[in-house]
């Protein structure tokens, strides 16, 4: 790490249980962020500014006016532009030391599995259950840590999965039968700071997993109610009937 980096990250390095070793682990880390909406904008910003060395951004969407309250990396004059390209440009300005790769299309299951071989951690910042289930399956198969978050209306949730642990639950244990009748922000609404809060929390969990500093609770579902201003927590256990993690997987 050079003199400028030591200065830039000095407030993080000051933390005893993070230290220079934690900062170096962030610098070496590669994180896949799927979805550059409200969650992905915020999580990617904190990971880039905190010094995560390599980000892979995946999103096939373009910026719309209704995104702007939550997706704070984008500006009005960028409506119609690719989200990943616009996000990468902003993140590069904030921290030119971060390498950023862009994937402007949806990943097939095989492409996702191949991509996971090159990353240390995945942030699921998507907004539909089919994609969430696909990311969960791929991360489970490759034993890649996954930090999953979601937000809708006044509510948000977050859960981290460390799949190398024995009898670790997975996202499918939590939601075995969900299809895409599920809620979307498009139909149900979302208050912008709620999604921002969950994006920041995802970045914190990712930094803890990557650096080895702090406590990451595998399978602890954190539920936020922004209307009441309250957090709740539920410990997930592996569903013995889970089609993915309790059986030999069939990914075809």
Between 217 and 246, how does the x/- string for binding to Zn ion read (CB under 5 A)? Answer: -------------------------x-xx-
- Cβ distance to Zn ion smaller for residue 120 or 172: 172
CA atoms of 54 and 101, how far apart (whole Å):
8
Kindly state whether residue 32 participates in binding Zn ion, applying the rule CB under 5 A: no
Q: How many residues bind Zn ion (CB under 5 A)?
A: 6
Retrieve residue 219's tokens: 């399978």
Kindly state whether residue 173 participates in binding Zn ion, applying the rule CB under 5 A: yes
| Structural contact between residues 239 and 173, judged by C-beta atoms closer than 8 angstroms | yes
C-alpha distances (whole Å) from 185 to each of 40, 180, 234 are: 15, 13, 24
Kindly state whether residue 58 participates in binding Zn ion, applying the rule CB under 5 A: no
Single residue of 134, 172, 195, 209 touching Zn ion by CB under 5 A: 172
Retrieve residue 138's tokens: 């791929």
Span from 146-154, 163-171, 180-188, 227-235 in contact with Zn ion (CB under 5 A) = 163-171
Kindly state whether residue 120 participates in binding Zn ion, applying the rule CB under 5 A: no
Single residue of 43, 44, 63, 170 touching Zn ion by CB under 5 A: 170
CA distance between the termini of the chain: 44
Q: Which helix (H) or strand (E) holds 92?
A: helix 83-94
Q: What is the 3-state secondary structure (H, E, C) of 190-230?
A: ECHHHHHHHHHHHHHHHHHHHHCCCCCCECEEEEEECCCCE
- Cβ distance to Zn ion smaller for residue 165 or 184: 165
| Structural contact between residues 153 and 38, judged by C-beta atoms closer than 8 angstroms | no
- Cβ distance to Zn ion smaller for residue 84 or 245: 245
Q: How far is the CB of 131 from Zn ion (least distance, A)?
A: 17
Kindly state whether residue 146 participates in binding Zn ion, applying the rule CB under 5 A: no
CA atoms of 69 and 191, how far apart (whole Å):
9
Q: How far is the CB of 174 from Zn ion (least distance, A)?
A: 8
CA atoms of 222 and 247, how far apart (whole Å):
26
- Cβ distance to Zn ion smaller for residue 41 or 133: 133
Interface ranges with Zn ion (CB under 5 A) = 170, 172-173, 242, 244-245
């Amino acid at each position: 790490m050079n003199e400028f980096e030591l200065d830039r990250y000095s407030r993080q390095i000051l933390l005893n249980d993070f230290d220079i070793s934690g900062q170096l682990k962030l610098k070496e880390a590669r994180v896949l962020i799927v979805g550059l909406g409200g969650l992905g904008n915020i999580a990617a910003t904190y990971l880039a500014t905190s010094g995560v060395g390599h980000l892979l951004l995946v999103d096939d969407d373009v910026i719309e006016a209704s995104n702007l309250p939550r997706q704070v990396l984008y500006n009005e004059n960028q409506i119609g532009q690719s989200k990943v390209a616009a996000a990468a440009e902003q993140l590069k300005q904030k921290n030119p030391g971060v390498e950023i790769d862009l994937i402007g299309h949806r990943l097939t299951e095989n492409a996702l599995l191949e991509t996971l071989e090159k990353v240390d951690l995945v942030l699921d910042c998507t907004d539909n259950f089919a994609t969430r289930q696909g990311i969960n399956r791929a991360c489970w198969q490759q034993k890649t840590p996954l930090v999953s978050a979601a937000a809708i209306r006044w509510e948000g949730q977050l859960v981290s999965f460390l799949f190398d642990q024995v009898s670790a639950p997975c996202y499918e244990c939590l939601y075995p039968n969900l299809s895409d009748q599920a809620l979307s922000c498009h139909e149900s609404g979302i208050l912008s700071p709620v999604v921002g809060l969950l994006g920041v929390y995802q970045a914190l969990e990712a930094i803890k997993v990557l650096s080895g500093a702090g406590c990451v609770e595998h399978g602890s579902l954190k539920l936020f109610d922004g209307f009441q201003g309250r957090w709740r927590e539920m410990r997930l256990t592996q569903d013995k009937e889970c089609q993915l993690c309790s059986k030999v997987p069939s990914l075809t």
